[in-house]
């Protein structure tokens, strides 16, 4: 059924999705008012897939930045600051909220991308330090269960 619908649609929904959420909703309303329910359903499914991909990318960016901050925290005492402790806490909070409330993301998504994300974080930390550093691989518990603070709560 999706194939039949896709073949009959002339609109490039990716271009519409690239505009703004407001324009996307206007287009959906136009389809609804025209009674074009099949195209509306098709476009909404595409849009949901697009949103899921965006959320997964954002989650992985947050994970990479969290890992980078933890690597630098572990590397040198100069990175152990209240600002970085707050950054770490904020990243962990955002990632946990995405997993808990957004529904389309999971711990599994993170675990599948763990090594690649760690490599990116390690490269970024080395660039930040302007030297090659042999950071050890971070473990799940070290990232999500350790408390990073200048004092113990």
pLDDT digits (tens, 9 = 90+) for 37-87: 999 999 999 999 998 888 888 889 999 999 999 999 999 888 999 999 999
Would you say residue 102 lies in a domain?
Answer: yes
Would you say residue 153 lies in a domain?
Answer: no
Would you say residue 58 lies in a domain?
Answer: yes
Would you say residue 7 lies in a domain?
Answer: yes
Instruction: Please give the Cα distance from 85 to 121 (Å, whole number).
Output: 17
Would you say residue 149 lies in a domain?
Answer: no
Residues in the chain: 153
Instruction: Please give the Cα distance from 65 to 88 (Å, whole number).
Output: 9
Would you say residue 152 lies in a domain?
Answer: no
Q: Is the pLDDT of residue 7 over 90?
A: no
Highest mean pLDDT of the ranges 28-37, 47-56, 130-139: 28-37
Q: Is the pLDDT of residue 32 over 90?
A: yes
Task: Express each pLDDT in 8-20 by its tens digit.
Answer: 455 788 889 988 8
**Predicted pLDDT of residue 152:** 60
Burial label, 145 (beta-carbon count in 10 A; 0-12, 13-18, 19+): exposed
Would you say residue 150 lies in a domain?
Answer: no
Q: How many domains does one find in the chain?
A: 1
Would you say residue 118 lies in a domain?
Answer: yes
The percentage of residues in the chain with a pLDDT greater than 90, rounded to a whole number, is 46
Predicted TM-score of the model (pTM): 0.78
Range of the domain at 41: 2-144
Instruction: Tell me how far CA of residue 33 lies from CA of 4, 26, 27, 28, 40, in angstroms.
Output: 22, 11, 10, 9, 10
């Amino acid at each position: 059924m999706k194939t039949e619908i896709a073949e009959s649609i002339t609109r490039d929904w990716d271009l519409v999705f690239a505009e703004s959420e407001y324009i996307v909703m206007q287009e959906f309303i136009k389809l609804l008012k025209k009674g074009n329910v099949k195209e509306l359903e098709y476009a909404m499914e595409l849009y949901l897939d697009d949103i899921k991909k965006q959320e997964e990318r954002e989650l992985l960016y947050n994970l990479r930045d969290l890992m980078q901050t933890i690597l630098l925290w572990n590397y040198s005492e100069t990175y152990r600051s209240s600002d970085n402790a707050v950054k770490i806490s904020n990243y962990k909070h955002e990632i946990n909220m995405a997993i808990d409330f957004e529904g389309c993301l999971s711990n599994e998504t993170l675990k599948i991308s763990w090594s690649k994300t760690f490599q990116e974080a390690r490269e970024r930390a080395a660039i930040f330090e302007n030297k090659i550093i042999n950071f050890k691989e971070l473990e799940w518990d070290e990232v999500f269960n350790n408390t990073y603070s200048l004092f113990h709560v």
